[in-house]
Structure 1
């Protein structure tokens, strides 16, 4: 089953959702701002994305700039920040099995299909 970690207020996330809808594939929408991910779920996503925690951070968010920018943070601390402030998570993320992509642009989803 395909999952899209989606923020409906984000244009890029809506583009990813539209791409999946056009693909004809069945998928599940995970509104991660409404139901924040646990540290374990974030860790699993990082493994599927094959990236480090810092690469999942939206560095232009106000909370990042005010609370975290310029600090030396461990991977564990970054994962905790992502769990506490889900707005910091890059979007959309599309997961299929044990592989995932940050679908920016939306056609990166083709890497999974």
Structure 2
């Protein structure tokens, strides 16, 4: 089965995770999620598969998160809408492996998907 990584090439953690996936011998699809943004439905699927809430996946240190008031809200639907509209708000890297998904920050989190 092919694994997918939501990847930002400027992110050192994402590059480490991508390298680890490739070293594992698994088939990997690399998705530059800033150029090919996930839909709200795809984000919801990642949350379901990972057990996270939208606020767990929010890249809260992005200035846009502050500008939109997302750091202070507990409105998960509002956070999802914002991430679908502005993919820069999605923390990375996200790795999807069938029915499992994981935010791999720090990079060694990917090991749980390679067992």
TM range (shorter): over 0.9
Q: Which TM-score applies when normalising by structure 2?
A: 0.91
Q: Residue 40 of structure 2 aligns with which residue?
A: 39
Cα distance, 1:106 vs structure 2: 2.0
Q: Counterparts of 1:69 and 1:49 in 2: how far apart (Å)? A: 21
Cα distance, 1:17 vs structure 2: 0.7
Q: Which TM-score applies when normalising by structure 1?
A: 0.92
Q: How many residue pairs end up in the alignment?
A: 113
Distance 1:105 1:72, change over 3 A: closer
The equivalences for 1:5-84 within 5 A come to: 5-69=6-70, 71-84=72-85
Q: Counterparts of 1:28 and 1:58 in 2: how far apart (Å)? A: 22
What's the secondary structure of 1:30's corresponding residue?
A: strand
Cα distance, 1:70 vs structure 2: 5.2
Q: Counterparts of 1:104 and 1:72 in 2: how far apart (Å)? A: 22
Across the aligned residues of Structure 1 and Structure 2, the Cα RMSD in angstroms comes to 1.3
What's the secondary structure of 1:45's corresponding residue?
A: helix
What's the secondary structure of 2:46's corresponding residue?
A: helix
- Contact conserved, 2:43 with 2:80, CA < 8 A, in 1? yes
Q: Counterparts of 1:31 and 1:103 in 2: how far apart (Å)? A: 15
